[in-house]
Amino acid sequence: MISLLDYGAGNVRSVRNAITRLGFELTEIERPEDILRAQRLIFPGVGAFGTAMHCLHQRGYIEPLRAYLAAGRPFLGICLGLQTLFEGSEESPGVEGLGLIPGQVRRFDDQARSVPHMGWNGIRLCKDSPLLDEQADAKMYFVHSYYAAATADNRDWVLALTDYGQPFISAVQYQAVTALQFHPEKSAAAGLEIFKRFLAADLSTAPARRHNKPPPAPQTQPAKRIIACLDVRTNDQGDLVVTKGDQYDVRERGVVRNLGKPVDLAQRYYQEGADEIAFLNITAFRDFPLADQPMLEVLRRASEAIFVPLTIGGGIRAFTDNEGQVYSALDVAAEYFRSGADKISIGSEAVLIAEQYRARGGTGDGSSAIEQIARVYGNQAVVISVDPRRVYVDNPKDTTHHCIHTEQPGPNGETHCWFQCTIRGGREGRDLDVIELVAACQALGAGEILLNSIDRDGSGHGFDLELIQQVRQAVTIPVIASSGAGTPEHFTALFAAVDVEAALAAGIFHRREVPIRQVKSALRAADIETRD
């Protein structure tokens, strides 16, 4: 019997999907006594440390869980499911963890690296493990702002280390108890293999708590992520299609371009090695996204077959439907998460939120979509999709906005520009620049920036490095560079010039001009770390 400990604090759909995909059935832990009856127990911790411990207490799970773990019975903890095994965490001061492993969980220093640590990284195995032995060379998908460090007191527990500025514990193991800081359900084939081994292998032979080899050198390196993006909308025939614009104009001779079916294309990109897939519902700003059942169905079907992170954006804001029923932005996001999203992206609404934040003198009031969604699903689940356009000026004094000297002069030879935020798919420019936007969104709790460029979108002329550089310097959260990729060299030039975590492209992948593997080969040839 495989039992899932879901304490209801977040989205564990992808764990369910991975296990179902492997042909296993899950039962739910519903009462404290179910824990001791479990034959294999999976604990995918989601949300904040304090919330997780609170839920476990409330449901009376603490004592049976401690007894199950102390007996070394088959257990697979994921992410927070590893962190709660420790004594406590900086994330929730004063809250006691399960206390099985000595040590406190700490926050990464965002002065040194982008936080959260989001993306693919390696593992250095410190002992033999029936679950991880075959996966020692694979990269796994991590997303966390807090980590546990190896110490003399917990060294016997350490199964694997990973490096992100400093080494941290990426897996622990004692008898048949294993816990992973990374997400096997989002780590493609390597992650599914770990599940398979946990679900099917004879774990009674797992070595007891013993630190039997020094962790191998060299240190692991986080990979630059390559993201395939699908702009999705209904075409004039009423079919949901992947489309692609030039400077956001998706019509050719008046007709919406149709580049394929969303689920089919997304699956193709997963098979071809995309590190992440993004769906942008590009007309959701004018329709009520929860009425768009085909789009939600696309997400459901994609999440059943794709085991890398899925982001979905479009229309995340409060709505009142025709019957007068009010939906909050959190309600919209919750439906996207329930349908299989790992992250949601907010475009137009983020611009309006940033304007209000600035009007209040740089404070939030807790009610914005960014704050609400980050509070429930975590900062890492909130991506801000930015749609900027260049506004040229002769002299920086001609604007109050963050202005740069540009190497790409304007149409009248202007030597300076600022990057204006737009809403409604680029249709409306606002009196807000990208730096004001991203700084406000980070302060309110966003976890990542997806940085488009209307000027470069669909052009194939390469990324707008000046824009990307400016945004990189303004935030400490991860940045995804987007728009304009035309060749593999554009990706190498991007990563060589700016320390962003990811690059996103659409047109070249849809039109099969450049396969994802070719992009990765070019990166490897330039000594830039990727996931194979």
Catalytic residue among 117, 126, 163, 183: 183
Catalytic residue among 231, 349, 433, 436: 231
- Smallest separation, CB 215 to ligand 1PR (Å): 39
Whether 90 is a known active-site residue: answer no
Residues 237, 484, 510, 182, CA torsion sign:
negative
Token pair of 482, please? 């987007």
Binding residue for ligand 1PR, selected from 35, 158, 190, 284, defined by CB under 6 A: 284
CB neighbour list of residue 261: distance below 8 Å, 6 or more residues apart: 240, 241, 242
Whether 441 is a known active-site residue: answer no
Token pair of 327, please? 């939906």
Catalytic residue among 193, 349, 387, 455: 387
Binding residue for ligand 1PR, selected from 42, 250, 290, 481, defined by CB under 6 A: 250
Q: How far is CA 149 from CA 23, 25, 105, 178, in A?
A: 35, 35, 7, 17
**Closest CB to ligand 1PR among 193 and 457?**
457
Q: Which of residues 409-428 bind ligand 1PR (CB under 6 A)?
A: 425
Binding residue for ligand 1PR, selected from 156, 275, 276, 349, defined by CB under 6 A: 349
Token pair of 404, please? 């740069």
Taking the mean position of all CA atoms in its chain, how far away is CA 406?
A: 32
Is residue 332 close enough to count as binding ligand 1PR by CB under 6 A? no
Is residue 481 close enough to count as binding ligand 1PR by CB under 6 A? no
- Smallest separation, CB 361 to ligand 1PR (Å): 25
- Smallest separation, CB 354 to ligand 1PR (Å): 13
Binding residue for ligand 1PR, selected from 3, 114, 385, 420, defined by CB under 6 A: 385
- Smallest separation, CB 450 to ligand 1PR (Å): 7
Binding residue for ligand 1PR, selected from 121, 345, 368, 492, defined by CB under 6 A: 345
**Closest CB to ligand 1PR among 139 and 520?**
520
Candidate segments 50-58, 183-191, 404-412, 500-508, binder of ligand 1PR by CB under 6 A = 500-508
Is residue 245 close enough to count as binding ligand 1PR by CB under 6 A? yes
Q: How many residues bind ligand 1PR (CB under 6 A)?
A: 32
Pairwise CA distance, residues 187 & 189, whole Å: 7
Is residue 35 close enough to count as binding ligand 1PR by CB under 6 A? no
Tell me the three state secondary structure of residue 440. Answer: helix
Is the CB of residue 238 less than 8 Å from the CB of residue 246?
no
Is residue 482 close enough to count as binding ligand 1PR by CB under 6 A? yes
Is residue 229 close enough to count as binding ligand 1PR by CB under 6 A? yes
* CA distance from start to end of the chain: 34
Pairwise CA distance, residues 83 & 47, whole Å: 12
Pairwise CA distance, residues 285 & 425, whole Å: 8
Alpha helices in 166-311 (DSSP H): 188-200, 262-271, 293-305
In sequence order, what DSSP letters do the residues of 161-179 get, joined into one string?
EEEESEEEEEEEEETTEEE
Whether 321 is a known active-site residue: answer no
Pairwise CA distance, residues 531 & 502, whole Å: 12
Token pair of 188, please? 């493609």
Is residue 467 close enough to count as binding ligand 1PR by CB under 6 A? no
Whether 185 is a known active-site residue: answer yes
**Closest CB to ligand 1PR among 276 and 457?**
457
**Closest CB to ligand 1PR among 115 and 230?**
230
Is the CB of residue 388 less than 8 Å from the CB of residue 471?
no
Tell me the three state secondary structure of residue 36. Answer: helix
Is residue 464 close enough to count as binding ligand 1PR by CB under 6 A? no
Tell me the three state secondary structure of residue 92. Answer: coil
Pairwise CA distance, residues 157 & 72, whole Å: 12
Tell me the three state secondary structure of residue 300. Answer: helix
- Smallest separation, CB 369 to ligand 1PR (Å): 9
Binding residue for ligand 1PR, selected from 91, 185, 193, 231, defined by CB under 6 A: 231
Catalytic residue among 156, 185, 276, 349: 185
Q: Which of residues 504-523 bind ligand 1PR (CB under 6 A)?
A: 505-507
Instruction: Determine which helix (DSSP H) or strand (DSSP E) holds 110, and give its type and residue range.
Output: none
Residues 87, 90, 95, 98, CA torsion sign:
negative
Is residue 92 close enough to count as binding ligand 1PR by CB under 6 A? no
| Cis amide prior to 102 (ω within 30 degrees) | no
Whether 466 is a known active-site residue: answer no
The structure tokens 């926050």 sit at: 107
Pairwise CA distance, residues 364 & 441, whole Å: 10
Catalytic residue among 79, 229, 403, 441: 79
Is residue 457 close enough to count as binding ligand 1PR by CB under 6 A? yes
Is residue 310 close enough to count as binding ligand 1PR by CB under 6 A? no
What are the catalytic residues? 79, 183, 185, 231, 387
Binding interface with ligand 1PR (CB under 6 A): 229, 231, 244-245, 248, 250, 280, 282, 284-285, 313-316, 345-349, 385, 387, 425, 452, 457-458, 482-485, 505-507
